[in-house]
Amino acid sequence: LHYLKSWQDDVLGEACLVLAKLGDPSAFEQLLSSYQRIPANYKSALIPFLSDFKHPLAVEFFMSVFDESIVTLDGLPFRERDARRAAADALAVQGDPRAIPVLLQNLAGSDLHLCSAVAHSLQALGWQPTTPADQVAYLIANNNFDGIFALGDFAVEPLVSFLLKRTYDLNTALKMVDSLRRLNKPGAIPAYLDSLKSADYSLRKAAAQALIEIYQSGQLSEQEKQMALAQRTVIQTKHEDQYISSDCSRHTDSGIGLSFPL
């Protein structure tokens, strides 16, 4: 307890870890008051040891970790993600359904490890998806794209929305575009058109292939056909990736190089 008064970051951090490992519930509030002062790497290490504490303030504390205004980044953004993942796991241990709204706000995002932890916690708390968007986000968090395909038409709007908002990382976006391609529905066109603007060739190519397939399916209205055809030149233009700096740090990436038969 004496070392909790230390102004040396490492000393304070180690003292908090030792005290948390002892598991004395009476120390919980002292640990909370010290939490904001310890370095970010100690925060993510401390939270798992606090998860078993049954204290009236525990659930509120773990939920607060998801609040960016409370989490101290200390110049290390990945530490914030570590702390949030640990907090998601801790909320599963606590078993309090009050955490569900906060967890839902973090079910979709570019940090798939966090999304997976949140999905696990929601399942542990007995949560069930009530909207297609929540269902799709939950399936993405579990890397279950076959499950998304099984949703059929219900999956299209959430997938399009997530892609337009650029909610996920590149690898996940590629899987989402492929899911829309497999579903082969006209409602996916806005996502394809947006993905064609990507700086990443693989995403542009995936979107172009999906757009060609939906065009050839015979499902499109005349207006939708014209939207697709407006991209034909871009899609058929040869792909070029050229370095424009002597150190190869900058380059131009244009064209796709796919055939778009009428």
Residue pLDDT tens, the chain, 262 long: 566 677 677 887 788 888 888 878 788 888 888 887 887 778 878 888 888 888 888 999 999 888 854 444 444 444 567 888 999 999 999 999 999 999 999 999 988 999 999 999 999 999 999 999 999 999 999 999 999 999 999 999 999 999 999 999 999 999 999 999 999 999 999 999 999 999 899 999 999 999 999 999 999 999 999 999 999 999 999 988 766 556 656 657 778 999 999 8
The token pair at 243 is 């370095």
pLDDT of residue 2: 61
Domain that holds residue 261: 144-262
225 φ, ψ (degrees, to nearest 5)? -60, -45
Domain assignment of residue 262, yes or no: yes
For residue 252, the surrounding DSSP H or E stretch is strand 251-254
249 φ, ψ (degrees, to nearest 5)? -85, -20
pLDDT of residue 36: 77
Domain assignment of residue 64, yes or no: no
pTM for this model (two decimals): 0.84
The token pair at 230 is 């407006």
**Nearest by Cα to 172 from 152, 195, 196, 197:** 195
Domain assignment of residue 176, yes or no: yes
- State the total domains in the chain: 1
pLDDT of residue 68: 57
Domain assignment of residue 222, yes or no: yes
Cα–Cα distances in Å, from 7 out to 39, 212, 220? 11, 62, 66
DSSP state of 208: H
Cα gap 118→116, rounded to integer Å: 5
The token pair at 126 is 């007995």
Domain assignment of residue 220, yes or no: yes
